[in-house]
C-alpha cells in the first residue's frame, strides 16, 4: 500500500510536489523578472538580511556549501585552520569532511556526543581557533537547545579568544519557537549565520548565508569558485519566500503539536520521546527494538495501513534499541497524539 499518512514526510511539498509548486507559482505576478535586483533571489537575500539583522546575505544552493565557505573565510582571515564544533555537528557527520578535503580545515570536536556543548567544554580547547560553530537546535541529539544565558556566555567566551562565532541555523526558524526572541537578537551573537530554505520553511532546497558585507563579498567569490552560482536559482528562492510568508508563522503551532505528541508517547510508555517537552518541532522517539527489526516493522505497518512513521532509524549503543526523528511540519499536524501512540503499538506488534 502506498503511503497515505506520514509522520516522516515533513511538508506537503514532499508529498504533493507538483500540486504545491503549481499553487505557489499561481501566486507569483507573471511580470516578476526571474533575474536581477527585482528577481526572487535578490528579493530573498534582502529579506533575509533584514530578518536576520545582518548587513548582507547571499543565496547558496546548499547549506553544506554555505557553511564551508563561511568557515574558510573565517580561517583565512585569522590564519588559523581549526574550528570547534559539537561531535555530532552536520559538518562533522554528514558532509564527508568537506571542510578538510576541500578547504584544508580541521574540526576540533567539543564535548560529549550525546549532550550539548558547555562553556567548560569550549574553554578546555587549548589550540587557537579560527571559529566555533553552534548548531541550533542540535539535531542529532533530539533537537536540544542551550539555555539563552549559556549561549550568550559561550559565544562571548569564544569571541574573546579571537575566534569567529558561526551559527548553523538550518533550523533557526524552529529554535525561535523556544527562545521566543526576535531573530536579529539571536543572530546578533554570531559573526555569520546560515539558514535553510527547505527544513522548517518547507521550500525546495537552498540556503542563505548572512554576515557583514565584506564577508558576503568574499563568500560570493567562493560560491562562484565552487560552482554554486546557479543561474536559474529563482524557483528555490520563490519557495523560500513562500515559506517565510506562509510557513514561518505556523512554526509555534508545529512546536505545540510536537509537545502534545511527545507527552502522549511518554504517558503511554511503550516508547520514549526525548526531549520531553520538545524544545522545537523536532524530537526523537526511542524504541525498545533494534534497528533492523524497526525497519522491517515500519515496512509491514506501511503495507498494512499506509501509515509511515519514519524513513530511517538511528542505532543505539544497546543493539536492542534504536530511535527515529520526528520533525513536525504540515503533514503531521493532522495526526492526533493518541493516533501516533496507536501506530507505535502497531509498529511494535509487527516487530514481534
Output the smallest distance, CB 30 to ligand PLP, in A.
29
Judged by beta carbon, residue 172 or residue 351, the one nearer ligand PLP is 172
**Cα 322 versus chain centre, distance:** 21
- CA atoms 271, 315, 95, 84: torsion sign: positive
Distance CA 160, CA 109 (A): 20
Under 8 Å between Cβ of 61 and 67:
no
The torsion of the CA quartet 224, 230, 236, 241, rounded to 10 degrees, works out to 50
Output the smallest distance, CB 292 to ligand PLP, in A.
24
Residue 90 touching ligand PLP (CB under 6 A): yes
**Cα 137 versus chain centre, distance:** 7
The CB-side HSE value for 170 (13 A sphere, CA atoms) comes to 23
Residue 139 touching ligand PLP (CB under 6 A): yes
Stretch that binds ligand PLP, among 44-52, 57-65, 107-115, 154-162 (CB under 6 A): 57-65
Output the smallest distance, CB 97 to ligand PLP, in A.
14
* b (16+ CB within 10 A) / e for 235-244: bbbbbbbbbb
Distance CA 82, CA 67 (A): 14
Residue among 8, 10, 24, 63 that touches ligand PLP (CB under 6 A)? 63
**How many of the chain's residues bind ligand PLP (CB under 6 A)?**
10
Residue 86 touching ligand PLP (CB under 6 A): no
Distance CA 183, CA 53 (A): 8
Local structure of 96: helix, strand or coil:
coil
- Nearest Cα neighbor of 311 from 2, 88, 9 is 9
Residue 284 touching ligand PLP (CB under 6 A): no
Q: Give all strands (DSSP E) within 136-211, no chain letters.
A: 164-169, 192-196, 207-211
Stretch that binds ligand PLP, among 23-31, 61-69, 103-111, 249-257 (CB under 6 A): 61-69
Identify the bridge partners of residue 287 per DSSP, sorted by sequence position.
Answer: 322
Residue 325 touching ligand PLP (CB under 6 A): no
Encoded one letter per residue, x for contact with ligand PLP by CB under 6 A and - for no contact, window 119-138 reads ----------------x---
Judged by beta carbon, residue 41 or residue 264, the one nearer ligand PLP is 41
Encoded one letter per residue, x for contact with ligand PLP by CB under 6 A and - for no contact, window 189-228 reads -------x----------x---------------------
Q: Tell me the residue nearest to ligand PLP as measured from the CB.
A: 63
**Cα 350 versus chain centre, distance:** 31
Residue among 16, 39, 47, 62 that touches ligand PLP (CB under 6 A)? 62
Residue among 45, 92, 168, 174 that touches ligand PLP (CB under 6 A)? 168
Judged by beta carbon, residue 107 or residue 265, the one nearer ligand PLP is 107
Distance CA 15, CA 113 (A): 33
Output the smallest distance, CB 236 to ligand PLP, in A.
10
Judged by beta carbon, residue 56 or residue 135, the one nearer ligand PLP is 135
* Binding positions for ligand PLP, rule: CB under 6 A: 62-64, 90, 135, 139, 168, 170, 196, 207
Amino acid at each position: 500500500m502506498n503511503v497515505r499518512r506520514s509522520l516522516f514526510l515533513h511538508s506537503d511539498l514532499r508529498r504533493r510536489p507538483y500540486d504545491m509548486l503549481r499553487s505557489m507559482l499561481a501566486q507569483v505576478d507573471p511580470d516578476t523578472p526571474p533575474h536581477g535586483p527585482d528577481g526572487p533571489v535578490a528579493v530573498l537575500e534582502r529579506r533575509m538580511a533584514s530578518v536576520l539583522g545582518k548587513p548582507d546575505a547571499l543565496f547558496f544552493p546548499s547549506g553544506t556549501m554555505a557553511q564551508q565557505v563561511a568557515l574558510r573565510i573565517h580561517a583565512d582571515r585569522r590564519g588559523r585552520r581549526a574550528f570547534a564544533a559539537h561531535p555530532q555537528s552536520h559538518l562533522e557527520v554528514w558532509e564527508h569532511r568537506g571542510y578538510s578535503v576541500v578547504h584544508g580545515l580541521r574540526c576540533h570536536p567539543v564535548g560529549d556526543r550525546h549532550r550539548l556543548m558547555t562553556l567548560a567544554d569550549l574553554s578546555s580547547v587549548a589550540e587557537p581557533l579560527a571559529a566555533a560553530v553552534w548548531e541550533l537546535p542540535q539535531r542529532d541529539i533530539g533537537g536540544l537547545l542551550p539555555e539563552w544565558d549559556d549561549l550568550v556566555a559561550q559565544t562571548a567566551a569564544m569571541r574573546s579568544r579571537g575566534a569567529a562565532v558561526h551559527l548553523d541555523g538550518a533550523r533557526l526558524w524552529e529554535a525561535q519557537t523556544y527562545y521566543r526572541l526576535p531573530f536579529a537578537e539571536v543572530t546578533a551573537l554570531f559573526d555569520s549565520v546560515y539558514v535553510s530554505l527547505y527544513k522548517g520553511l518547507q521550500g525546495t532546497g537552498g540556503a542563505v548565508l548572512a554576515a557583514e558585507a565584506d564577508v558576503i563579498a568574499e563568500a560570493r567569490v567562493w560560491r562562484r569558485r565552487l560552482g554554486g552560482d546557479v543561474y536559474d536559482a529563482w524557483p528555490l528562492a520563490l519557495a523560500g519566500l513562500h515559506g517565510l510568508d506562509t510557513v514561518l508563522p505556523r512554526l509555534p503551532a508545529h512546536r505545540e503539536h510536537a509537545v502534545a505528541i511527545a507527552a502522549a508517547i511518554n504517558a503511554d510508555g511503550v516508547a520514549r520521546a526525548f526531549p520531553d517537552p520538545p524544545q522545537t518541532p523536532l524530537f526523537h522517539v526511542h524504541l525498545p527494538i533494534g534497528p533492523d527489526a524497526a525497519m522491517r516493522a515500519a515496512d509491514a505497518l506501511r503495507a498494512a495501513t499506509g501509515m509511515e512513521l519514519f524513513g530511517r532509524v538511528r542505532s543505539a549503543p544497546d543493539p536492542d534499541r534504536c530511535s527515529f526523528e520526528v520533525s513536525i511540519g504540515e503533514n503531521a499536524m493532522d495526526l492526533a497524539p493518541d493516533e501516533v501512540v496507536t501506530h507505535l503499538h502497531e509498529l511494535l506488534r509487527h516487530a514481534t
